[in-house]
Homo-oligomer: A and B are copies of this chain.
Amino acid sequence: MMLERVNSPTSDFGRTVGNAFVRKLSSLALLSQMDLAALAGVCAHSRWEPARKDLVHEDLAPSGALVLLEGFACRYRRLSDGGRQILSFLLPGDLCDLDHNLPSGRDYAIGTLSVCNVAWISSTNYSELLSSHSTVAAALRTAKLLEEAILRDWLVGLGRRHAPERLARLLCELLERAQAVGLASADRCHLPIMQVDFGDATGLSTVHISRSLQALRLAGLLEIVARRLHVIDLPRLHAFCEFSPMRARLGDGFAVEASAITWGAA
């Protein structure tokens, strides 16, 4: 069985077609050749950053936008007691707008979780991209709406769900998002995220993450081995944590196909 293999018409491995950014936006809107060229141009210069490094922190405020091409990162906030709350995970293909976030300065930082390949877009290039490529702008707007929906989901989870459900939902979300950029099969994906990070995202302690994960494993729902998530029973997992896939993506053949197969096997 081929892991990470995705049913994309144009390549064996999703990552070989353009970059994750192009792939993600392509799944959200029908981009023209010129749009694609502009996206490629804007990501031409990227840098590798080490794991566990701040790309942006609260005071220091670079402008423009940042695109994560490979690796995992997160937005987070630090508290006075040293605690950390992760606000969202950034996966390959995700863009983070640094200009339009700030009424009175940014209130969060962005840090890598794994080694990351990051493209920085200057303010001028960014606003030009938006103004002269309306389809790209529309795709980014949709991406933003999805992000907001996820944030609301997290809020509901933190407020009203128990640890195992919270964790399970997070894993479902990550699997789905990885699939959307061609980095996951129907039931597996690489997840370079430590248990501390899961804890800081779900508002739980590391110890409790460990125990919740074990509960999910014992229930035969999933397992995580060597930084890889393997969902054993997706329908039951979804039912367990009341996760409903966001089918908000528009023209993406492969994602629809993959999920159809999954549900067919249920």
Which A residues have a C-beta under 8 Å from some C-beta of B? 77, 79-80, 83-85, 87, 100-104, 107-108, 141-142, 145-146, 148-149, 151-156, 158-161, 200, 202-203, 242, 246-248
Contacts and interface: CB of A to CB of B under 8 A. Distances in A.
Contacts of A85: 155-156, 159-160
B149 A151 contact: no
Given A108-B152, A148-B148, A151-B151, A160 B83 contact: yes
A84 B141 CA distance: 28
For the residues of A in contact with B, the DSSP-based class is: mixed
28 contacts: A77-B152, A79-B156, A79-B160, A79-B161, A84-B160, A85-B155, A85-B160, A87-B152, A100-B141, A100-B145, A102-B145, A103-B142, A103-B145, A104-B247, A104-B248, A107-B149, A107-B152, A151-B151, A151-B152, A151-B155, A155-B155, A158-B158, A158-B159, A158-B203, A159-B200, A159-B202, A159-B203, A160-B203
A77 B156 contact: yes
A246 B154 CA distance: 23
**Which 4 pairs from chain A and chain B are nearest by CB?**
A159-B203, A103-B248, A158-B158, A85-B156
Contacts of A152: 77, 87, 107-108, 151
Contacts of A200: 159
Contacts of A158: 155, 158-159, 203
Contacts of A87: 152, 155-156
